[in-house]
């Protein structure tokens, strides 16, 4: 019996199933990645209010204001001057509203909802500066953010 | 001339080198893993906050409804005023609805329910007078109680105004 011996045996792993699995993982992370969370200051400890409910705000014009315990306004990690920032946002909101609704008048209430994310230790007088500035610039709709249960 | 018969290769195997594609896929995966940050589920309380309007208050020492000469009850008492005072540490110390003291947040809820469920109640909005040092967490407890109430016309109470009490 003559048998030829293979001097080299090469084993090539089949990469197709691994590629499949990796594509599954990529699809998962593409679906769950939320880039809007970058606008939230996650260092803030929000108050706990049992009746606070996450509401569907898809399509609504929102302006998120992160206010820390010393009353500073943080936007994408950068501290902003409250009055200047809100005035600029009000101007932009007014322009957008005018574009969407030609009958929108200058002294009409702005359609933008102010989302207030304030630290639970923030004293009211500092928070009130922000709220009053928003009201003075025509904002009337507010959403006060809170957790509906304690973290952890 | 010798005719060489061309040997027909029965089947040509084209092998895709998947290693490069797998490398790219791992790059993408690494990107999405590094940028993935689960955001906490946050709730919110929606409010309409008009600027606080001046309230035509009752005369000093006078309880609501006492003045029979007041023919325009609606104008004077359309806004229900809740006062919230704080300790130096920012917690709620005392509260009052109008002139009447209220023991705590649960008592506030009961009292508000009683006032707003009255069919003749003229109140359409609530003005919350807040001590400057009161912490946001404590204020939200009061706001939570207010927004759970229903007005006599069946609408939820969402129209609030905040006024800062002068520092003592």
Residue B56 scores a pLDDT above 60: no
Provide the residue ranges of all domains of chain A, joining segments of one domain with +.
37-144
Residue B14 lies in a domain: no
**pLDDT tens-digit map of B113-150:** 888 887 777 777 888 999 999 999 999 999 999 988 88
Q: How confident is the model at residue A134 (pLDDT cuts 50, 70, 90)?
A: very high
Task: Give the pLDDT of residue B54.
Answer: 59
Contact B160, B49 (CB under 8 A): yes
Task: Give the pLDDT of residue A2.
Answer: 46
Range(s) of the domain holding residue B132 = 75-164
Q: A-chain residues within 8 Å CB-CB of B47?
A: 141-144
DSSP element (H, E) containing B163: strand B160-164
Task: Give the pLDDT of residue A3.
Answer: 45
The tokens for B130 are 């807040």
Q: What is the CATH number of domain A37-144?
A: 3.30.420.270
Task: Give the pLDDT of residue B154.
Answer: 80
Return the higher-pLDDT residue of B109 and B73: B109
Residue B124 lies in a domain: yes
In three-state secondary structure terms, A44 is coil
**pLDDT tens-digit map of A34-75:** 776 667 777 888 888 877 777 666 667 889 999 999 999 998
Residue by residue, DSSP assigns B18-63 as HHHHHHHHHHHHHHHHHH--PPP--EEEEEE-PPPPPP-PPPTTPP
Q: Residue B87, Cβ neighbours under 10 Å: how many?
A: 14
Residue B64 lies in a domain: no
Lowest mean pLDDT among A127-131, A142-146, B24-28, B67-71: B67-71
Residue B41 lies in a domain: no
Angle between helices A82-100 and A124-136 (to 10 degrees): 40
For range B12-20, the mean pLDDT: 79
- What was the ipTM of the complex prediction? 0.75
Apex B155 CA angle, B152 and B158, nearest 5: 110
Residue of A71, A92, A90 whose CA lies nearest to A140: A90
CB–CB contacts below 8 A, A to B: 150
Half-sphere exposure (Cβ direction) of A20: Cα atoms closer than 13 Å: 4
Question: Do B46 and A113 count as a contact with CB atoms less than 8 A apart?
Answer: yes
Question: Do A50 and B33 count as a contact with CB atoms less than 8 A apart?
Answer: no
Give the minimum alpha-carbon distance from B95 to chain A in angstroms, rounded to a whole number: 15
Question: Do A123 and B49 count as a contact with CB atoms less than 8 A apart?
Answer: no
Task: Give the pLDDT of residue A93.
Answer: 92
Q: Average pLDDT over chain B, rounded to whole?
A: 79
Task: Give the pLDDT of residue B42.
Answer: 84
For range B51-78, the mean pLDDT: 56
DSSP element (H, E) containing B97: strand B92-97
Place of tokens 């933008």: A112
The C-alpha atoms of residue B89 and residue B163 are separated, in whole angstroms, by 20
Question: Do B36 and A29 count as a contact with CB atoms less than 8 A apart?
Answer: yes
The C-alpha atoms of residue A58 and residue B121 are separated, in whole angstroms, by 36
Task: Give the pLDDT of residue A66.
Answer: 93
Residue A92 scores a pLDDT above 80: yes
CATH code of the domain containing B136? 3.30.420
Q: Residue B136, Cβ neighbours under 10 Å: how many?
A: 24
A-interface mutation test, from B20, B44, B128, most A Cβ less than 10 A away: B44
Quote the number of domains for chain B: 1
Q: Residue A96, Cβ neighbours under 10 Å: how many?
A: 15
Residue B31 lies in a domain: no
Residue B75 scores a pLDDT above 70: no
Instruction: Say whether residue B118 is in contact with chain A using an 8 A CB cutoff.
Output: no
For range A118-129, the mean pLDDT: 93
Residue B141 lies in a domain: yes
Residue B130 lies in a domain: yes
Residue B97 lies in a domain: yes
Chain B residue with minimum CA distance to A29: B32
């Amino acid at each position: 019996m003559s048998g030829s011996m293979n001097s080299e045996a090469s084993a090539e792993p089949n990469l197709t199933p691994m590629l499949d699995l990796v594509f599954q993982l990529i699809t998962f992370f593409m679906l769950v990645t939320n880039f809007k969370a970058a606008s939230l200051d996650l260092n803030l400890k929000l108050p706990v209010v049992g009746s606070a409910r996450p509401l569907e705000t898809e399509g609504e014009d929102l302006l998120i204001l992160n206010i820390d315990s010393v009353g500073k306004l943080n936007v994408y990690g950068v501290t902003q001057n409250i009055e200047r920032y809100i005035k600029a946002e009000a101007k932009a909101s007014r322009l957008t509203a005018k574009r969407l609704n030609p009958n929108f008048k200058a002294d009409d209430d702005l359609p933008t909802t102010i989302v207030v994310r304030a630290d639970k230790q923030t004293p009211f007088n500092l928070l009130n500066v922000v709220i009053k500035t928003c009201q003075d610039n025509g904002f009337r709709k507010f959403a006060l953010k809170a957790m509906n249960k304690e973290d952890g | 001339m010798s005719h060489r018969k061309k040997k027909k290769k029965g089947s040509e195997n084209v092998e895709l080198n998947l290693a490069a594609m797998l490398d790219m896929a791992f790059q993408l995966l690494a990107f999405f893993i590094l940028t993935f940050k689960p955001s906490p589920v946050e709730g919110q309380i929606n409010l309409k906050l008009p600027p606080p309007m001046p309230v035509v208050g009752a005369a000093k020492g006078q309880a609501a409804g006492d003045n029979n000469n007041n023919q325009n009850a609606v104008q004077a008492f359309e806004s229900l005023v809740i006062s919230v005072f704080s300790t130096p540490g920012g917690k709620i110390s005392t509260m009052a609805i109008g002139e009447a003291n209220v023991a705590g947040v649960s008592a506030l809820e009961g009292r508000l329910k009683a006032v707003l469920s009255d069919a003749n109640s003229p109140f359409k909005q609530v003005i919350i007078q807040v001590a400057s040092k009161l912490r946001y967490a404590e204020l939200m407890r009061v706001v939570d109680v207010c927004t759970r109430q229903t007005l006599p016309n069946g609408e939820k109470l969402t129209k609030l105004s905040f006024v800062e009490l002068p520092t003592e």
